[in-house]
Amino acid sequence: MAILTATLASAFHPYHRLSPLVGVAGSPPPRPRLIALTFDDGPSPRYTPEILRLLNRYDAHATFFVLGSEAAQFPQILRDIVNQGSTIANHGYHHVNYFHAGLTRTLQDAALAQALFNKEKIPTAPYYRPPFGNSNKKLAEALATKGYTLTLWSIDTHDWSMPGMTYITRKVLSEAEPGAIVLMHDGGGNRSQTVAALESILPVLRAEGYRLVTLPQYVRALGLTGPQKLPLPPSPPQKNGRIPATRSMEAPP
The CATH code of the domain that includes 136 is 3.20.20.370
Contact 186, 91 (CB under 8 A): no
Residue 250 lies in a domain: no
Instruction: Render pLDDT for 60-99 as a digit per residue (tens, 0 to 9).
Output: 999 999 999 999 999 999 999 999 999 999 999 999 999 9
Counting every residue written for the chain, the total comes to 253
Residue 14 lies in a domain: no
Name the residue range of residue 185's domain: 37-230
Residue 159 lies in a domain: yes
Residue 64 lies in a domain: yes
Contact 67, 42 (CB under 8 A): yes
Residue 52 lies in a domain: yes
Catalytic residues, by residue number, are 40, 185
| Residue 27: predicted pLDDT | 54
The pLDDT of residue 22 is above 50: no
Number of domains in the chain: 1
Q: How far apart are CA 127 and CA 7, in angstroms?
A: 9
Q: How far apart are CA 186 and CA 79, in angstroms?
A: 16
Q: In 3D, which of 213, 242, 220 has the Cα closest to residue 36?
A: 213
Residue 42 lies in a domain: yes
- Structure confidence at residue 21 as a pLDDT band (50, 70, 90): very low
Contact 197, 157 (CB under 8 A): yes
| Residue 29: predicted pLDDT | 67
β-bridge pairing 127-128 and 211-213: unpaired
Residue 16 lies in a domain: no
